[in-house]
Structure formats: structure tokens, C-alpha cells
Structure 1
């Protein structure tokens, strides 16, 4: 992929020098090895991302029995056949003495696939005392990359399934070690996402979440070098995404904003579209969180910076997110209209769509993703927020009208994939993260 940072240099765009002073800066990426500028995550193939690979893993059983069992297909299959299959897979995972490395990887993959498609809390709860240590053993030993990556994905979906406040303490240290010490990029990525899921759903305190967020910012600032993954775009993207999820749970972000915003603005210069978009969405989230509703005992000030949100509440700016906002808006404008023969059509479309929304929210922080100022011909009013919706069933939908909602939705979909809507219906841990709307009948 064409180096977007080289584009910036050739156009005379000002390039940040902040990373030069960091020990993490080191050498720049291969494409820019001769340029005396901050290193930014190198381009990586987005066609075979970790999430997309997980989807293909899920369909890999089409020649076997897993999907047939989940769908209740076949004359001899009962509606609860998936429970028997799940118990078989759990047995294979916990009985390490009788399993091979390849067999454990297959069992972990099948186990995670069933948990995504069926809410299995009762079945998993009964075996957690054996199951969790076995999954953690596969992660700790790292016998093969495949088994470890599958174990990390199985751990994440298990945490969402059991919805227990006791899990974080059992897994946090191991996941931090894997992020720092594993030689596998895929393992690092899986461990970053699993750590954020464990903190969010597994009982971490706000202080522990803030500590993880600081750790993730170090990864972003150093372009991955902080965890021995220099210029690995997938690792930096994972750190940005994990940070975004945890930030939605922290009420007051004022103190953490200054360091985080600098790191994210720097990553807008990355050569990888995934890194740029993840950084941009975090920037939009920080702007959104800098506003809060006008309190009952607060007086209205005519010259204060304020706006109304989608609920009609009066929103008031509490602090400044970024002092060079004009410069930031210029950068966002460039990304929203970026062109070039070296950029794939898919990346170009993603950049245009994402950064148009991000720029809109930086300028007007109470406007969430997909906010539209276009007028509805029937009502004469602006469409506003709420154009992004996820239909759960005939009467329930989730409106993604805030950046914090989008961050949570993306995190849940990374873990649950196509099982998200079923889990939203059945799993309280999922539904409480995103408030739903009752669909109006026509």
C-alpha cells in the first residue's frame, strides 16, 4: 500500500517531531527508512485481518458437523444437540493428557464457535473450575501459535459468556506477559483484545482499567516497540481498539486525555488505514467525553460552549481536548478526502467515510457517528444522529448514535462475530453494554 506519510511529506505537510524524542522512536519503517521522521506502523494486509480469519475459522466446519449441530439440521439431530457437542469439546480441552496440540487447537476453535452462536452460560459455569485453567495453560505454554491464538479467542468469548467479576485477577498478569514477551504478532494481538475484554467484563476496577489504558498508550506511542513489535500495524491497531473499549467505562477522562490525544494524533500519519481509523475513532470519543449534561444546579451561560445531544439534554464543554484543534481539523479534512493511486479502493472508501464522521464530531462533539445535517423531506428536520442501527429482532434495534456505543459494538463483534444479535437477545452482559430502542410500527 502506498505510504500515506510519504504523501504528506511530498505535499509539504507539517510532520510531528514528537516521536523523535522518545526512546521508542528508533528507526522508521522500511518505506521511510531514509526519512528523519517518527516511525509509524507499517502497512499490513487488511484482507486477512485477525477478525476476518476468525470468521473463516467459524465456517471451516461446514464439511463437518458443527454448523449442522448449531442449526439443528439433520433428521437425527435434536434441538439441544449443540449442548452435547459443547460438552464433548470441553472434555477435550480439559483432558490435556489425552489430547494433541493440533487436537486442542481444533477443540478450542469449535468450543468458541459454539459459544458465539449459542448462549451457554449454564454449561460453561459447571465446568469453569477445570475449563479456565486448561485454557490459560494453552496460552501460557504457547506450544504453537495456532493453539495459543485459539485459546485467547476462547478465553474472550468465555469471559463474555460467564459474566463474572472474578475472572480479571486470574488472567490479567498472564495476558500482560504474552503481550510483552510472545514472539508471535498474532498472539500479541489476541492477548491485547483478551485483556481489554477481561478488564471490561471480568471485574477490573477503574484504577486497573486506567493502568491498562496507560500500558496501551505506551504501545501506540512507540509504534509497538514497547512490546517488541515495532511498526507492526496489527498490534498498534489492537492497542487503539482495546483502549477505546476501556475508555467508554471511565467516567472522567480529563487527566488521561493529554497523553492519549497526542499519541492518537501522531498515528493519523500512519501508513496503515486501520491504524488511522482506530486512532481517529478514539479522538472522536475523547471529544465526546469532554462534554457532559448541564447539571440541575448549574446556571446557563450564554457565551459558554454548549450544544444539545440526541436526547435533547443541554451538553456543556468541561475541558479542552487538544489545543491545536485547527491543525487537527486540517489533518482530518485531508484524510476525509484522501486520494492516490497507491491506496486500495476499500481503504479509500473506509478513510473517506470514517473521517468525515470523525471530523464532524471534533468540530461538534455532541454529534455522534453518521450524524447527518440533511433534511428529512417528510418532517423538514435534519436527520441528525441515529442513522447507524443494528436490528436485533422484529421489535428491538440498537442505535449507534454515540462514539462510546460504536466502540462497544465493535469490541463485541470482534469476539462474538455473527453471534452478536443472538447474544444480545440472550446474554445480559452483552445487552447491558448497549441500550436498545423499541422499533416503531409503520
Structure 2
């Protein structure tokens, strides 16, 4: 189902309601109307219309024009609007008449003025209650109170998460941008703001779990070649299974593509994305592993911190011995040598084992670390500072 949600405000710009404007949707479609939502409904042909307004919104002017009503019920509605006392019962009959004229259901949703956090939260809940899971929704904020477009943006994100609603677009009829020569008022599409929030969400998600695969679909939508963007997912998987060399190979391709990418949103977030996966630019394997250990410590992923920190130190030791850092035997010998000569490394080794196996350690120091998060963080941070040579 496709639903249009249109906000109805309170302001009276001239006698008879809103100013009439010729809204231009494209080269082949424009409509001269006072209420933008009705032109948008004709343009989109939705299956349902939800009108959202307060107890003082211009319901009377709207229904008088759109439903052609001039009876007692309209007089009641006029009085209610004047006294800021419109109720759902007063609107029900008017909505039914408009539904018959349009040929699809019309619902009137009363909201308060959303002056405070409670009212703003109530608006989101009320919208969720009148929508179905998986519904396609378009939002019109043209005639809303000036603070409601910001809330509509939050509502779009909330509904997408809670009701799995697909927000197809957010529209705004920009009267103040009227072309004086043609008389046309441009129609602004604001879904780009939702895509910006998707990027912000992706950055937050990455900072939490380190999965840069979340950027793949966003970069594809922004114009990057899908194969190059998709390598971020492959790289994230390989990193998760500790195949650092493979992860770096995939990331190198993606990093080069990101550096050259000039999409509007990818360009905006390029610097932050490159910074978050910059470990792949480091020339030595030990540097890459130690950088990953530091990033996982920031995320409080103590198992991966211990794994990458220990492996980075072992790789460093093998390199100093001029050995092959991919040879298991040489790595094991280096690990034993480090443990024999360095108490802190031995503690790290025992800690890694305990974290990996989910078991308590017989070592008192390690056992104590596993019962105190602050001490564990500080100890791992100290190891990361002091152990690399």
C-alpha cells in the first residue's frame, strides 16, 4: 500500500486560506492549488491519504474547499478551529465525504502541537499506530508548523525502523522560491536528508562493531561501481576471520575507489570513511595488526583486541628475526620467545587464551582482569603502548 501523509497547518495567509500557487513537479506536471497536498496526491495517486493536524489547524478551510461542504457540520468545524477545539469526531464525517470524492480512504490524525519531548514522542507513536508494516509512505511537510519538518525527518527514520515502512520521498512546496517570471513554485524533494542519516548511522554502526561492509550499499547508491563497493563486505568478512592479508587486498581496491569517488554523499563522508579503514594503508603486517588492536580496544571488543595485539607482536618479532611471518612454526617460536622474556607478553598470551575459550584463568592477574572492565581496558592499553618495539 502507498500512503501519502500530509501535514495541515494553522496559518491564514489571506482570506480563504492558503495562498494559491502553481506547484511545478516537473516539465509535464504542475497544478495551481492552495493546498499542496492535494496537488501531490494527484501527482502520486496514492492508495490512502492521512491528513495530520492539530486541534487548531485549518481543517475548516481545507474541507470547505476540497469537499464542497457548506452545512451545519462545517459551521461546527469553523467554531472548533477558532477555539482550538477540533476533535476526531468532528473530522470523521468530513474525511468520509472526501474519501468518496477521491476514491480512496482519507484518515484525519489529530496531534498536539509537539511543543515538548512528550508531545514529539506522541506524534511518532500516533503515526506508527495508523500505518501498516511494510507500507510505502510519502510525507508532505509544506503546510506544517515550522518545527514539524524536523520532526517529520525523525518520524521517517523511526517508522522505517519500527514499522519497516519504506519512506519513498519527503516533499516540500517551496513558495518562497517562486519563480517570478513563470509564476511556478518549485517542488523540493528531501529524501536526500534521509540518505545523509543513513551515512551517519553507518558511521555509528562502524564505530560500534568495526564492520565497514555497512558502507557498501551506500556507496553503490551514491554512484560507485558495485563490485568495488562490494569489496568492503568481503574485506569485513576476511577481517572477522583474521585473514588480514586478504582483507587488506580487498580494502586497497575500495580505498582507491573511495579516493576517486565524487558522489555527493560519498564525497561528503569520504574523509571519515578513509580514516576508519586507514589501517590497510600501513606497509607492515605488524603495523596493520597493532592498528586493528587499537581500534577494537576503542570498541571494547576485548577478545579481538587481545588477538590482534598478540599477533601484531608476534609478527613484529618474526620480522626482526628476518623470518617468514606466514610460517606457523616460526610464529610459534617467536611467541614462545616473547613469553619467556617478557612478563607482560605472557600475561597477554594467557589473557587471550582465556578470552578465546571463555574460561577462567589459573593466573591470578588474568583472573582479576576478567572481573574488572576498567582494569582490563587500562592493562590492554598499557600493553599496546609498551610492548611494541
Compute the TM-score of the two structures, normalised by the length of structure 1: 0.26
Higher share of residues assigned strand: 2
Compute the TM-score of the two structures, normalised by the length of structure 2: 0.29
**Higher-Rg member (1/2):** 2
Q: RCO higher in 1 or 2 (8 Å CA, sep ≥ 6)?
A: 1
